[in-house]
Structure 1
Amino acid sequence: MTELPKTFDPASIESRWYAHWEEKGLFRPERPDATPFTIVNPPPNVTGSLHIGHALDNTLQDIIIRYERLRGKDALWVVGTDHAGIATQMVVERQLNAQQQKRTDFTREDFIAKVWEWKAESGGAITRQLRRLGCSMDWANERFTMDEGFSKAVIKVFVELHKRGLLYRDKRLVNWDPHFRSAISDLEVETKETQGGFWRFRYPLADGVRLADGSDHIVVATTRPETMLADMAVAVHPDDPRYRDVIGKDILQPITGRRFKIVADEHADPELGSGAVKITPGHDFNDFEVGKRAGMKAGDMLNMFDADAKVVQTADGKVPDTYLGMDRFDARKAVVEEMKALGFLVPHVTKDKEGEEVAADFEPRTIQTPYGDRSGVVIEPWLTDQWYVDAETLAQAPMQAVRDGAIEIVPRSWEKTFFNWMENIQPWCVSRQLWWGHRIPAWFGPRIISTLEGLKPAFSFANDPEFATKSSEPDYAVVAETEADALAQLADYYAQLGHRELVVCDSSSEAMTVLLQPGFNLDTHLPVWRDNDVLDTWFSSALWPFGTLGWPEQSETLERHYPNDLLISGFDILFFWDARMAMQGMEFMGQVPWRKLYLHGLVRAADGQKMSKSKGNVVDPLGLIDKFGADALRFFMAAMESQGRDVKMDEKRVEGYRNFATKLWNAARFLQSNGVTASTAHEAPPAALPVNRWIIAETVATVQAIDTAMAELRFDAAANAIYHFVWDQFCDWYIELTKGAMDDETRAVAGWAFDQILVMLHPFMPFITEELWHLTGDRASELIVARWPQALAAVDTDAQGEIDWLIRLVSAMRTARTELNVPPGAKLPVIVRDAAEATQRRLDRQGAALARLGRVESLTFGEPPAGGAAQIVVDEATFILPLEGVIDIAAEKTRLAKALAAAEKERDGLGGRLSNPSFVEKAKPEAVAKAREDHAEKSAEAERLKAALDRLG
């Protein structure tokens, strides 16, 4: 046994112990016969750094996995990182830009090689940081969403979904990022408030048609005037009497001259503006749905932008040449100016301070504008061909699993949100126009449109997919796991034309170049090409629970560890990741991916605001680890994680848990100095003394409390149970009660109880507990693979009752002395009145401890002498502390009465404010919460002061 240093230094032990655990393979000990327990980490982006949300999420997972490992299970925590398509490509492109290079200077293969080089050099930052947090993951089997085995699973799932009719190519609106020239997911869209405008324009009715009021036009309003170049309808509410007679009539767009119909649709709100809405289905999600309801096919909807969000000619050729090539925001200005010049702009009229009318081109408005969270550019709804998954069909099985209890969502309050989203789920766009990622296993060729005998075969070549919105006929596509299989399918398709040699191209652009080469003969050769797109990152991460276990190979690991037991996830990725794992797991494995889904909240700033770099309130978890140690940060996360609530960051609390670790360290030093060593038994040693029987019972009760809390995933309850046991029962009372009375029995019990503390605390504070485990005795194994305490020892309720009584009595005496300003060193006589026989026996046994801890000079039974005294009632007995000559009783009464009046005045003032509905309803929530806290504090203070005054008689 090594003598403990005087001070606890987290930095000196954390890296040492983590390296030891990992080197010895203790994160996944060999336990083939044990019950399996499996969790998977939400794979962080390979570009990422540890942020405070990671710290919460991974701390909770590590607590669970260490707990189950200590309980003897074959505990597997699958670890890996996500290839993060857009984020990673952006990082590498920035590096190239710094060298005056760009992605398109390289071939696709050469660029991807550079990404792999970056990953090898810089992609491990997040995993190193997870180690600093203490995450005991199975690093020996670390996965990456682009590794060979996982990629095989991704391709197989894509092909199988296509075969089953659950994955298809379709033309729909997507969130288009003009910077990356790619579709992005809803999660990658950040909505910001921007200052914009509301423009109103007159659209003339065609063919001399007029409204009921005689008007020859309809006024429409828009925040995006530029899109009128692709307008295809004006919508009015079917019950709006102003427009009922013109539904189905033609109306004209002034700039393009395009004629289109007035359609009836409930999307048009009669109470909003003029009640008429211009419909641009190719550039607005709501308009897209209106267009579909009006009978427009997606392929016929007009597109006026290219991939850079610059104006291009629409399929009907109606856009004036002057607009072609314009940036969308320049086009906005130009459209407004032209409509104004043509007399079709309706000015916005307001009155100035003098009451004079003032006209402006538009009404200023605050607009909710979508931005790409990484590119920072405004997202454009864009009509394009993409690959989609039939999410509605796949959602049925997970919904039923939740209804049947096969998947338990904790807290249950999230079930309603889950069902609401799943029941209204939209097709999932899974293609991205990037180079880094899983390339879509699809190949294309020209579609045969004529094979009539005697006629030359005709083909339809769609444009480059990037500009496929103009295509009238889609290319012919095949999906296969390998290029050889794809070419075989294409050869079969073209066999009806006779033999033609297939010219395999890497992209549609290359195929067009080949096709346009002089002398290229379609009678003998046909260009075919690979889909240029990659899969959405969430598509691959949806396979995480089984793809990481070796699927599609039917491995022993897969059979043993699927389904997973638990998934811990932030609620913010419930739909983007959790729900999609449930869909894919049930579709391909026939079972739920995990039996329980725990959704935790966000970590917010101390004032409750969401953390963001722009607000300057982001907290760096690595900085907290440097300052207070990983154990303190971990314990803070656990103690503050209350189901259904966000965690408010509080550095003072983290510091408090560092102090808690120091208290544990000092307790170990005290025990060591008194000859207490490590226990040699898992079971509690025999004990006769009440104080030892009491601490054994308290230990067992704490084990039971933690087991119950962990079964219910109440991390805060588990952390608070061990915290109060260590700080209050063991350090404050047991050590105090046994000072100067360390016999062999007490040493054995103290050593055993401290060992149980180290094991119970280990999931929360792994570093200090492992260090103390080895410094306090010779051990057969590391603490990380020790045995969890058994909550089976007989609980001595008599001993518990007696020591609890002693603690209450000493605490009451100490409180009274403090409140009455009794000098700390003064010893007081105590007279006991009305004590039952059981209490008298307790006083006989605990008299020495009471005298030492309560600073009691003498203990007698009977009536007190005349004069002021403090009276304390514990159970049936009254304990009287005479104070004549110890304090100035009259002055003390005056002091307490004055303090009581001040506390009551503040309490009543706060109570009056809180009873005022105007304050509660109109004040900021944090101000109301603060007033309630202050009211409760002053109420308690007043009660304490009144009790102290009453004690003086």
Structure 2
Amino acid sequence: MRAIELEKAYNPKDFEDRVYREWEAKGYFRPQSDGASPEDAGRFRTGERFAVVIPPPNVTGVLHLGHGLNHALQDIAVRYHRMKGDDTLWLPGTDHAGIATQHVVETRLKKEGLRRADLGREEFLRRTRQVTDEHHAVITAQQRKLGNSVDWTRERFTLDEGLSRAVREVFVSLYERGLVYRGRYLVNWCPSCGTALADDEVEHADTAGEMHHIYYELADGSGAKVEIATTRPETLFGDTAVAVNPRDGRYAHLVGKLVKLPLTDKEIPVIADEAVDKDFGTGVLKVTPAHSPADWETGTRHGLPVVNVLNPDGTLNGEAPERFRGLTCEQARPLVAEALSEEGLYKGAEKITHSVGRCYRCGSTVEPFVSDQWFVRMKPMADKALEAWTGGGIVFYPRKWENTYAHWLENIRDWCISRQLWWGHRIPVWYCACGETLVSRADPERCPACGATSLRQDPDVLDTWFSSWLWPFSTLGWPERTKDFDAFYPTTALVTGHDIIFFWVSRMIMAGLEFTGKAPFRDIFINGLVRDAQGRKMSKSLGNGLDPLELIAECGADAVKFTLGFLCAQGQDVLVDRESFRLGSRFANKIWNASRYILGKLEGRSLVSVPDSALAALDRWLYARLNETAKAARNALESYRYNDAALALYEFFWNDFCDWYVEATKLSFRSGGGAEKDRAASLLLNMLEESLRLLHPFLPFVTEEIYGKLPLAELAAAREAAGNAAAVVSASRYGGMLIAAPYPAPNAARENAAEIARFGTVQELIRSVRTLRVECGIQAGDKVRIAVKAEPAAVFAEQTELIKLLAGAEEVQFVSEKPEKAVGAAGNSFEAFLLATGEIDGEQLKARFLKELSAERAFADRTEQKLAGSFARKAPPNVVAAEREKLARSRRRIERLSGYTASL
């Protein structure tokens, strides 16, 4: 066979972009049912399907490492199911991200000295589309760099024509069903952006502030006062009551009386409400329904008036005394305190730290604000979504997130869906001067009541989530029954973060049930957050963020993907630093070097069929381990245990295949004849080919590049010539790329627990000898003499040459008694001894062991004392755990050294 060469050094930059372009150009990312895959795609169809819609990133955002983790996990699952033979679709797309995108554009305009009003709505939207096109190109390029095997031919955008039609259909349908209504309610309001915000668009942070203590006089002329503590004295002009707990005896006599509203000529009642915490502050609360969610609820229960004291830009309005009008809350606060002090109504202020909500986009303080908005009535849909969970229609991985899901649905509030923006889906509502309101699927031309044509459309747009909650079915063509909708809805799985269980996951389930009668997916895998090695959230302020594109440039996309999958334990956050990705880089490099070695051994060799009868014990062992690994990887990936699958693959390829099997075959190439070398080369190639298929979902680029170098036609011919020897022959697809090859399946004929156990004892013996060599200070190149005491000894005797090769021994003796002048170690069914030679002086070795034993005992004593003291109570749990592991290792070494000393 001709020489097959790989470049000496593994360099992912040489091939990753090229391989991705080839995958995409040849249609491998499209479902097999499209007929766009290679000719033989249908031969391995399972009859099952696997569909995932990507959580659409904001079109003006940049992919961070959290996206990198989420996309890596989806890609691993998609590649596995594609290879498994499922009809697989991974549908990509982006979110128009209303407020975020509009903020980007308005920031650009500000630099030009312009506002959106200066441009007008149409020109502003044109510019915004231009910005989204620029950012979209960046995001899709990033996704290609990550290796996302998404079907780009089906890419969607939440503002494209098809999705816009779905949004309008849903709004109008909900309105017709009485589930959409307009009302005047308290919402989150950003004075800077000039719009209502969703709860998830408000970021809360602990902020330094003051608690102001104010007196409110009773209106009965008695001169009596009640003390109230508040962080916001400037909103007192919107107070419509003072509240106390009905069980608070201190204030029972005040209930029903009136108090004077400071700095005004108004009087407001004292009410009793169970929500008042009598142990907090003075136990008396000012009730400002227009500027506090809790006060809104109190005011609703008691039918209190709602007085809004703020303008939309966050300044005080005409409800405040004239000297405070036009001031921001921050400007007015000290002035109101000063005015209260002049009236003798101000006791003082104390420094506090409290949670303040800020706009996630511009950072401005968010105000509770009363305004006219559109809402969705959520309770009826939430009840259906709860039934879907209790009935087993959806399953969370891990299960703990089901409680979060249920709690939110059981305590759900109506959803404010209108935003005072220009970028987004325009609300399909029109108003006529005659008072008629039209809610329509198509733009109306005239008023049905009076015939007027001068209709005014509602200026607001819909919350971004209103389009993304339809994502699993709107992207497939709904409201029409398209081929894609029939083939891939409901989708199979959703992979996302826990922070949007409320705002996206739950709403998608509600929308799916409401409009299709089915939950939009069955499996919901909630991945953890990516944190730094100290467990801190990655942020610009801490400077601990990692750019996935920088990591890819340093070590390749495979290294990033494998590392994230390896570290992604279900239900846990992923802790990484830049050094972490060396794990994936080293593994990809190992695959490259092992493949290069094997391909180099093919030169001059003939690939031959190897029937079962010609398999050696070592061959049967590796096939059994490969079979176990295929089973473990499949089971783990089916239940989204990414780290378990990655660990199984890593252990098999690095340890079983490379460190044991490939090393062992050196005996065949060193001393075997031509036929033996042909046999060894054929088996190595066969096992490498299957290993690459096993590894592909986690390391797609390097495995694809190597796979393309394999002599697949010759290998296929050799396999076919072997007949149906179950231990060797496996179904495989040739003429295509690895991305579409079949994923290795467990093979009952390969199961061989006895062979695994037998070779396991040989491995244990070799490891014991290697440990003895290190403990005795024997150099790697020095040969040793070994004695083995075992009953029976046959399992070791038949592997004598392998033991000599891998243990660095020149001689292996089998004995019935412990030899003189020997140091040994005991295994489960053997004792192994290093015999005294020129390199081993028994007395010197004993002295060495005694010295090391003394040092190890001293270290163990110090560590025990450390763990018994305050360290164990004060240090972080992970630091304490690391110290306990050090102690455990030290105790194990003490036991070994004691045994060595005794044996000498």
TM-score normalised per structure 2: 0.92
Alignment partners' CA distance in 2, 1:711 and 1:679: 39
1:904–1:400 Cα change, 3 Å:
farther
Kindly report which structure 2 residues correspond to 1:786-825, keeping only aligned pairs within 5 A, or say none: 786-792=741-747, 793-825=749-781
Residue 85 (structure 1) aligned with residue 98 (structure 2):
yes
Q: Of 640, 648, 663, which aligns to 1:721? A: 648
Change (3 A) 1:925 1:829: closer
Determine the C-alpha separation between the residues in 2 that align with 1:678 and 1:585: 59
Q: Does 1:501 align with 2:452?
A: yes
Structure 1's 569 and 686: CA in aligned 2 closer, same or farther, altered over 3 A? farther
Structure 2 unaligned runs (5+)? 35-44, 670-675, 713-733
Equivalent in the alignment of 1:922: 874
Secondary structure of the 1:740 match is helix
1:276 aligns with 2:284: yes
Aligned match of 1:420? 407
Q: 1:302 to 1:654 in 2, by over 3 A?
A: same
| CA apart distance, 1:785 | 0.6
Q: 1:226 to 1:689 in 2, by over 3 A?
A: same
Q: Which amino acid aligns with 1:102?
A: R
Q: Which moved more, 1:785-794 or 1:235-244?
A: 785-794
**1:743-822 alignment to 2 at 5 Å?**
743=676, 744-778=678-712, 779-792=734-747, 793-822=749-778
Asked whether the 8 Å contact 1:865–1:882 carries over to 2, the reply is no
How far 1:446 sits from its partner (Å)? 5.2
Q: In the superposition, relative to structure 1, how do residues 944 and 13 fare at CA in structure 2: closer, same or farther (>3 Å)?
A: farther
Write out per-residue CA displacement over residues 644-698 of structure 1, whole angstroms, 9 at most, x where no aligned residue: 1000013323112211111111111111121189999999976421111111111
Deviates more, 1:774-783 or 1:725-734: 774-783
- Partner Cα separation in structure 1 for residue 803 and residue 262 of structure 2: 96
Q: What secondary structure, in the 3-state scheme, does the structure 1 residue paired with 2:711 have? A: coil
CA contact 2:432–2:452 (8 Å) conserved in 1: no
Percent of aligned positions with the same letter in both sequences?
39
Sort the Cα spacing of 1:649 and 1:865 in 2 relative to 1 into closer, same or farther, 3 A: closer
* 1:323 Cα deviation after fit: 1.9
Partner-residue secondary structure (3-state), 2:61? coil
SS of 1:609's equivalent in the other structure is: coil
Cα deviations by residue, 1:795-820 (Å, 9 ceiling, x for unpaired): 23443333222222111111111111
The residue that corresponds to 1:320 in the other structure is 321
Q: Aligned in 2, Cα 1:364/1:667: closer, same or farther, shift over 3 Å?
A: same
Partner of 2:729: none
Q: Which residue of 1 aligns with 2:151?
A: 138
Q: Is the 8 A contact 2:216 2:225 kept in 1?
A: yes
Is 2:883 the counterpart of 1:931? yes
CA distance in 2 between partners of 1:714 and 1:637 (Å) = 12
Instruction: Indicate how the Cα distance of structure 1 residues 207 and 819 shifts in structure 2: closer, same or farther if over 3 A, else same.
Output: same
| Matching residue of 1:4 | 6
* Counterpart for residue 448 of structure 2: 491
Aligned-residue offset at 1:322: 1.9
Look up the match of 1:549.
Answer: 476
Change (3 A) 1:29 1:39: closer
Out of 412, 417, 425, which is 1:438 matched to?
A: 425
Answer with 870-879 or 550-559: which moved more. 870-879
Q: Does the residue aligned with 2:880 lie in a helix, a strand or coil? A: helix
What's the counterpart of residue 702 of structure 1? 629
Are 1:857 and 2:810 an aligned pair? yes
SS of structure 2 residue aligned to 1:194 = strand
Question: Match for residue 509 of structure 2?
Answer: 582
- Contact 2:608-2:682 at 8 Å conserved across structures: no
Mapping for residues 392-541 of structure 1, pairs under 5 Å: 392-445=379-432, 477-484=437-444, 490-492=447-449, 495=450, 501-504=452-455, 529-541=456-468
Separation (CA, whole Å) in 2 of partners of 1:748 and 1:680: 5
Tell me the amino acid that sits aligned with residue 438 of structure 1.
H
Shift of 1:864: 6.0
**1:810-863 Cα deviation digits (max 9, x unpaired):** 111111111112343333333333532xx32x3442122222222333333445
SS at match of 1:832: strand
Matching residue's letter, 2:98: G
Aligned to 1:352: none
Paired position in structure 2 for 1:882: 835
Shift of residue 932, structure 1, vs aligned partner: 3.1
CA distance in 1, matches of 2:288, 2:486: 52
User: Contact 2:75 / 2:697 at 8 angstroms: preserved in 1?
Assistant: yes
- Residue 35 of structure 1 is matched in structure 2 by 48
Counting only pairs closer than 5 Å after superposition, residues 38-77 of structure 1 correspond to structure 2 as 38-77=51-90
**Counterpart code for 1:19:** R
- Between the aligned partners of 1:810 and 1:230, the Cα distance in structure 2 is 82
Q: Pick from 799, 824, 828: which aligns with 1:846?
A: 799
Deviations along 1:838-892, one digit per CA (max 9) or x if unpaired, are x32x344212222222233333344568642122334433333222543232232
Name the Cα RMSD after superposition: 2.2
Kept in 2, the 8 Å contact 1:153–1:552? The answer is yes
Aligned position for 2:218:
205
Q: Is the 8 A contact 1:831 1:859 kept in 2?
A: yes
Tell me the distance in 2 between the aligned counterparts of 1:676 and 1:188.
Answer: 63
C-alpha displacement of 1:947:
4.2
TM-score, length basis structure 1 = 0.87
Greater shift in the superposed pair: 608-617 or 736-745: 736-745
SS at match of 1:540: helix
State the secondary structure of the residue aligned to 2:798: helix
Structure 1 residue matching 2:85: 3-state secondary structure: coil
Distance 2:874 2:566 in 1: 32
For residues 614 and 872 of structure 1, the distance between their equivalents in structure 2, rounded to whole angstroms, comes to 54
Match of 1:303 in 2: 308
Post-superposition CA distance 1:625-649 (Å, at most 9, x none): 1111110010011000001100001
Instruction: Give the structure 2 partner of residue 107 of structure 1.
Output: 120
Aligned in 2, Cα 1:491/1:907: closer, same or farther, shift over 3 Å?
Answer: same
Q: Distance in 1 between matches of 2:688 and 2:332?
A: 74
Whether the 8 Å CA contact 1:832–1:879 is kept in 2: the answer is: yes
Flag the 1:686–1:113 CA change in 2: closer, same or farther, 3 A.
farther
SS at match of 2:770: helix
Task: Tell me the distance in 1 between the aligned counterparts of 2:294 and 2:862.
Answer: 53
Q: Report what 1:262 is aligned to.
A: 270
> Offset at 1:187?
1.4
Change (3 A) 1:825 1:236: same
Whole-angstrom CA distance in 1 between matches of 2:609 and 2:82: 17
Residue 892 of structure 1 aligns to which amino acid in structure 2?
L
Letter in 2 for 1:17: V
Q: How many residues align?
A: 862
Alpha-carbon deviation of 1:572? 1.0
Query: 2: distance between equivalents of 1:564 and 1:546?
Result: 9
Rounded Cα–Cα distance in structure 1 between residues aligned with 2:132 and 2:302: 50
Q: 2:518 aligns with which of 580, 591, 613?
A: 591
Q: Which whole-Å CA distance do the structure 2 matches of 1:502 and 1:59 have between them?
A: 53
Question: 1:337 matched to which residue of 2?
Answer: 338
Deviation at 1:447, TM superposition (A): 7.0
Using the TM superposition, name which of 890-899 and 537-546 deviates more. 890-899
Deviations 1:424-448 (A, max 9, x none): 1111111111000001111224576
Structure 2 residue 186 is the aligned partner of structure 1 residue 173: yes
Pick from 789, 812, 833 the counterpart of residue 833 of structure 1.
789
